[in-house]
Structures are given as C-alpha cells and as structure tokens.
C-alpha cells in the first residue's frame, strides 16, 4: 500500500480542487471525442500508410476502408483507418 499524506483543506479549496479535476476530465473527453470523429482525406490516408492514392482507392473498393461522401469530398474516418486490417509488405 502506498503512503498517503493527508493535507488539511478548507471546504472552498476542496471544492475548487474537485471542480478543477472535473473540468480537466471533461476537456480530455472532448478532445478524445474530437479525435475519434476526425476525417482524413485519401491523401492523408495514403501519407499515413506511405502508399499511393490508387492503393487507398483499391482498399475502399475491397471493403477494407469505408469511404464517406461529405459534399463532393470523399473522406475516411480516422478511427476506422487506424483499426483497418491492413498488412503492408515492404
């Protein structure tokens, strides 16, 4: 068991500490949520895997990647790209 140190805090200091901790947790959760819902262009996917745009297109046609049309743009969800079962041979 770890050694614990008890620090006397006033009610206001305790509330401020708790509030700060909650705000930090919410901020981190929002940042993670944003990263999970970020979209990449085909070029960003290609750059990430160091492949050509043709390869990214082929992966989409094979169902390895799911593409999303947003307006006239074709985008890929970052989270899905990172979890895709892609084997690279060098």
* Predicted confidence (pLDDT) per residue in 4-46, tens digit: 888 888 888 888 888 888 888 777 766 665 555 699 999 999 9
Range of the domain at 77: 39-83
Polymer length in residues for the chain:
90
**Total number of domains in the chain:** 1
Q: Is residue 77 part of a domain?
A: yes
Furthest CA-CA distance within the chain:
64
Work out the pLDDT band at 3, boundaries 50, 70, 90.
Answer: confident
8 A C-beta contact, residue 65 and residue 45: yes
User: Is 66 within the bounds of a domain?
Assistant: yes
């Amino acid at each position: 068991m770890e050694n614990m140190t008890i620090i006397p805090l006033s009610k206001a200091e305790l509330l401020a500490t708790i509030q700060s901790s909650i705000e930090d947790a919410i901020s981190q959760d929002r940042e993670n949520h944003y990263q999970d819902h970020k979209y990449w262009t085909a070029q960003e996917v290609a750059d990430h895997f160091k492949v050509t745009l043709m390869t990214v297109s082929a992966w989409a046609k094979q169902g390895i990647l799911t593409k999303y049309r947003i307006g006239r743009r074709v985008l890929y969800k970052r989270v899905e790209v990172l979890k895709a079962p892609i084997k690279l041979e060098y």
